[in-house]
Structure 1
Amino acid sequence: MRKILLVAAVAASVATAVVPAASAATAIKWEACPADANPGPGLECATLKVPLNYQDPNDRTIDLAISRLPSKNPEKRRGVLLLNPGGPGGEGLGYPSVLSLQVPGIPSPMPKDVLESYDLIGFDPRGVGHSSPVTCDLTPEQMAIGNLPYANGPRDVVKQAAVAKAEAKQCADAKTGWMLPYTTTANAARDMDRIREALGEQKISYVGASYGTYLGAVYTTMYPQRSDRIVLDSNLGPGGYDIDAMHGFGRGIEDRFPDFAKYAAANPQYGLGSTPAQATAKFYDLVGRLDRHPVAGITGGLLRGAAFSLTYSDFQFKKLAAMMHDLDQGKEPAQDGPAASENTFASRFAVICGDSSWPKSIGAYQVNVALDRVRYPLIGAGEANIAACAYWAAPVEQKVRITGRGPSNVLMVQNTRDPGTPLANARKLRAAFGDRARMVTVDQGGHGAYVFAANKCGNNAVNEFLATGKRPAADVFCAA
């Protein structure tokens, strides 16, 4: 059970002629990928050296692990498509294999004409996986608290502040503490341009999901003329993972939970109620009981965090329903899923805390917790709680400001009911891009509107843009 809770705590084109494989790419030493990257057939990997600090590029360097799945039709190849699955803290080395899978019964996000148009390029962002991974020496107990420690009152915020302060100190004192000031989204974007350069490409196309939307937005803002076709799926706001994004979690789950309540009501075997209203009432009754009398160490706060994560996909509804059923009966739910790694937590801290300035006052978090408990009753007192970022060193550079300056080559795709990156924040990014972007809004729930999503209208808009460069003339709404 603890494993699933750990997971729960932790989403006009530029016309270009067909480009032959760049000769500079032969300088990269492509080899077999590490087994733990779960490489599929044909995937090859390499390591680049990139500057730790781009303000002093001749000083210390770090490793950047990249992968390539070459186009199987060189005559149709037009360039490279960089990919990021999200995070921060998400490993991307094996992502080209994931997106090229052809599995019966599961919609494949990338059809043949897209796969033939590009070499798919994956990478572990700096600090993650095989790219000079960072650590905070976090204990299993610290990781079990996760990213949404629910606060039932002001005293819980004070208690969490002690945990957050210790985590920040551990990160700074760890053997990779010297990397922390430079493990940021802006530097990850600079790394992407080093990948472009190493591959010998004048421009790169890109597909990024969840946090990857912010990374893509930062890249195309910093390097607009080196950006080809940019697709952003499940969008953060223009500030990335800042305090607005954290409050967005509360908004997102309120948008999404009714979908789960309908599922629970339609599946009486779980005993959660015969109507969505009864299923919702059962959830609140259960979290209250668990806070008074935990089951196998599972509190109401931990169930709230699990509900947040397990509404990311319709396929996970049955896990949440089964968990609630077992807990309602006083039984420990079955364990399921791998635990998130310490590196995932550490690199997430590094990027989120290093990208933005965060409130320092415990009192400010106590006020936010009280407000969001009312505004977003499902998890509001968790996403507003204090975290390690309150005790982090100030960012070493100003945040990249997303604007409309640059070519009109960005296509955003977004679900209406996304718990992790709500539509409200996606609209803020759309406004920041102005005429650079078009947005395809899909009337469905879950985190991920393109990758492994089933809506043909949304998928077709993205695939047509990637394959041909044709982008909708105006924003599009796709019915369910």
Structure 2
Amino acid sequence: MFRSFKSQAFFLLAFLKVAIAQESFDWSTVGSICSHITATLAQVPLNYSEPDGGTAAIAVIKLNATVEASQYGGPIFLNPGGPGASGISFALGVAPFLQPVFGNQFDIIGFDPRGVNNSTPKTSIFRTEEESSAWFAQDVTDLNSTKEALPEAWARYQVFGQLAQNRNDDNSLNFVSTDNVARDMLSMVEAFGEEKLQFYGASYGTALGALFSTMFPVRCLDMDGYFNNDMKFMVEDIDKAMQTFFDTCHSAGPQACAFYDSSPSQIEANLEAIYDSVRKQPIPYVSGDTFSIITYDVLRETILLALREQAHFPELAAGLKGLSTGNGTSIFQLINEMLAPPSEAGPTADDVLQLQSDMASINSTFAGTEGLQIMTYCSGWKIRPEGRFNGPVGGNTSFPLLIMSSTIAPCHTFCSAKKTSSAFPGSALLQQDSVGHTALFAAGSNCTLQHLAAYFANGTLPEEGTICPANIPPFGGVNNTTSGISPRSFPLPRLRH
């Protein structure tokens, strides 16, 4: 089934692009592409304060339920995060796997949020792909890598923010915001003839879900930090994840972990030696027409991304082993698999001195990455629509929320998940004992899948304090004898947060 579904995916994406160019579809005339998949453009107000002032077109794809009408459970909307990752591509990739988990009584809905991918308004700061590529090629992952890195990044993103203002000719950027995406979701829910939203969000998708629940509580990450661009919390668990890599590599032994050494502390020392080596002499990589240079900053970004899915630990170990002998092949392959374009967040008035103070206050060897990086990038963003949502999130929802998190969660900590859960009375927090970003995809866990299925099927919440084991530890072995879905089965977008 997956092969045929995947082949249809390419056709559907091409179909959507043609439909958008022609503006030939609206929600009331859903175009059936095959017996199980439908695609459409949902027409919504560009500005909800002025509904007659133009429209945005939201690209939507639906994997249809396969039950009788009397058993129909309604639509479940998906958002993969990013912000700005394609919900269309995400749904085409994961819906065939998720529908058996949720139940085939549900439609699975993927959509591209307004302003990105296949949806309109089309927004771009740069005039050409070449201009965009040249800009992002200069981005630095670790703003603590040199004394110049943070001030230079700050200056670059003042330019970025000014470009956005200068090139916002039609004011479309004023209406590309998370609160408007939440309003779009409500419009689509109502277009389905439903009153309440059923939603699964990962990464930034949890912020979107929390915002929807705050704005429309009867319709129903440290969210307040996200909406106020105070994301220092994002690195709190990264050192824990790094230590878990050292510990589990050692305990797994040399057969399972290529970067094995006599103790976790020695493995850490070996990594520090590689850092020092690539700082002094970056490693060139050439294979046919493919070429790259593995610098300290590229290596740091690769490690950060690998820590988001513990299934990547063996590949990271192999790549580091190669680098220790000057061979960049394995690490380049991992880089090529995981790198993703940067994401956006809310505006701030931080200057260089404030950002340097923020970075100094973070007790982490990764202090100059992730949250601080995003805060710096957003420091120059001056487009601030009137009435933009700035938090706080929380409220009494008509049905309790299920919030899931890994025990060690780079980018969005377990502590943040607990804070979000406390903001929504009656919600349940499901802890998955794994390392990684987003519980469902960080590591396979039958226990997590079973609780997720029970929640969507009949509203059952896990008991307080429930902890689900991962099926497979980072370097192999078995935690759970029941076969299940591996996170590597899901063709996920590589997300920044």
TM-score normalized by the length of structure 2: 0.77
Provide Cα deviations, 1:353-405, integer angstroms capped at 9, x if missing partner.
3xxx4243111112222333xx111x212332463311111532242431232
User: Are positions 1:223 and 2:216 aligned together?
Assistant: yes
Q: Distance in 2 between matches of 1:364 and 1:136?
A: 26
Q: Distance in 2 between matches of 1:242 and 1:280?
A: 35
User: Are positions 1:248 and 2:248 aligned together?
Assistant: no
Match of 1:77 in 2: 72
In the alignment, which of 130, 134, 142 is matched to residue 123 of structure 2? Answer: 134
Q: Distance in 2 between matches of 1:287 and 1:455?
A: 34
Q: Distance in 2 between matches of 1:145 and 1:422?
A: 28
1:331 Cα deviation from its structure 2 partner: 3.1
Match of 2:49 in 1: 55
Q: Relative to 1, partners in 2 of residues 1:284 and 1:28: Cα closer, same or farther, differing over 3 Å?
A: farther
In the alignment, which of 172, 181, 185 is matched to residue 188 of structure 1? Answer: 181
1:125 Cα deviation from its structure 2 partner: 0.8
Q: Alignment partner of 2:110: what SS? A: strand
Q: Relative to 1, partners in 2 of residues 1:302 and 1:177: Cα closer, same or farther, differing over 3 Å?
A: farther
1:171 Cα deviation from its structure 2 partner: 3.2
Aligned pairs for 1:25-424 within 5 A: 27-32=28-33, 42-74=36-68, 75-101=70-96, 108-111=97-100, 114-132=102-120, 133-137=122-126, 138-146=131-139, 148-174=141-167, 178-227=171-220, 235-240=221-226, 242-245=228-231, 247-265=232-250, 266=252, 268=254, 270-271=258-259, 273-296=261-284, 297-334=293-330, 335-336=332-333, 337=336, 345=342, 348-349=343-344, 352-353=345-346, 357-372=347-362, 375-377=363-365, 379-383=366-370, 384-385=372-373, 387-393=376-382, 395-396=384-385, 397-424=388-415
Q: Relative to 1, partners in 2 of residues 1:239 and 1:364: Cα closer, same or farther, differing over 3 Å?
A: closer
Q: Distance in 2 between matches of 1:144 and 1:320?
A: 23
RMSD between aligned residues: 2.7
Specify the code of the residue in structure 2 equivalent to 1:122.
G
Q: Distance in 1 between matches of 2:246 and 2:50?
A: 53
Q: Relative to 1, partners in 2 of residues 1:63 and 1:146: Cα closer, same or farther, differing over 3 Å?
A: farther
1:328 Cα deviation from its structure 2 partner: 2.1
Q: Distance in 1 between matches of 2:445 and 2:361?
A: 36
Q: Distance in 2 between matches of 1:402 and 1:92?
A: 23
Provide Cα deviations, 1:405-457, integer angstroms capped at 9, x if missing partner.
2324201111101112111211111121133x111112111123124742232
Match of 2:9 in 1: none
1:249 and 1:422 in contact (8 A); partners too:
yes
1:416 and 1:445 in contact (8 A); partners too:
yes
In the alignment, which of 451, 459, 462 is matched to residue 472 of structure 1? Answer: 462
Specify the code of the residue in structure 1 equivalent to 2:223.
G
Q: Distance in 2 between matches of 1:473 and 1:331?
A: 49
Which runs of 5 or more structure 2 residues have no equivalent in the other structure? 1-25, 285-292, 471-497
Aligned length: 421
Which runs of 5 or more structure 1 residues have no equivalent in the other structure? 1-24, 34-40, 102-107, 228-234
Provide Cα deviations, 1:308-355, integer angstroms capped at 9, x if missing partner.
1011112222332233223222233354346867xx54xx32xx13xx
Q: Alignment partner of 2:148: what SS? A: helix
Specify the code of the residue in structure 2 equivalent to 1:387.
T
Specify the code of the residue in structure 1 equivalent to 2:466.
V
Specify the code of the residue in structure 1 equivalent to 2:148.
R
Q: Distance in 1 between matches of 2:281 and 2:394?
A: 50
Q: Alignment partner of 2:317: what SS? A: helix
1:238 and 1:432 in contact (8 A); partners too:
no
Q: Distance in 2 between matches of 1:124 and 1:394?
A: 22
Provide Cα deviations, 1:141-165, integer angstroms capped at 9, x if missing partner.
4323447343234432222222222
Specify the code of the residue in structure 1 equivalent to 2:242.
F
Q: Distance in 2 between matches of 1:180 and 1:250?
A: 29
Q: Relative to 1, partners in 2 of residues 1:214 and 1:398: Cα closer, same or farther, differing over 3 Å?
A: closer
Q: Relative to 1, partners in 2 of residues 1:142 and 1:66: Cα closer, same or farther, differing over 3 Å?
A: same
Q: Distance in 2 between matches of 1:169 and 1:430?
A: 37
Q: Relative to 1, partners in 2 of residues 1:416 and 1:176: Cα closer, same or farther, differing over 3 Å?
A: farther
Q: Alignment partner of 1:204: what SS? A: coil
Provide Cα deviations, 1:55-84, integer angstroms capped at 9, x if missing partner.
222112222101111110023212111111
Q: Distance in 2 between matches of 1:260 and 1:178?
A: 46
Specify the code of the residue in structure 2 equivalent to 1:369.
M
Q: Distance in 1 between matches of 2:273 and 2:192?
A: 56
2:279 and 2:296 in contact (8 A); partners too:
yes
Q: Relative to 1, partners in 2 of residues 1:401 and 1:83: Cα closer, same or farther, differing over 3 Å?
A: same
Q: Distance in 2 between matches of 1:148 and 1:176?
A: 31
1:475 Cα deviation from its structure 2 partner: 4.5
Q: Relative to 1, partners in 2 of residues 1:48 and 1:184: Cα closer, same or farther, differing over 3 Å?
A: same
Q: Alignment partner of 1:444: what SS? A: strand
2:77 and 2:198 in contact (8 A); partners too:
yes
In the alignment, which of 446, 455, 460 is matched to residue 450 of structure 2? Answer: 460
Specify the code of the residue in structure 1 equivalent to 2:263.
T
1:463 Cα deviation from its structure 2 partner: 0.9
Q: Distance in 1 between matches of 2:280 and 2:143?
A: 14
Aligned pairs for 1:7-18 within 5 A: none
Percent same amino acid among aligned pairs?
24
Match of 1:17 in 2: none
Q: Relative to 1, partners in 2 of residues 1:283 and 1:196: Cα closer, same or farther, differing over 3 Å?
A: same
Q: Alignment partner of 1:413: what SS? A: strand
Q: Alignment partner of 2:313: what SS? A: helix
Greater Cα shift, 459-468 or 150-159: 150-159
Match of 1:14 in 2: none
Q: Alignment partner of 1:365: what SS? A: helix
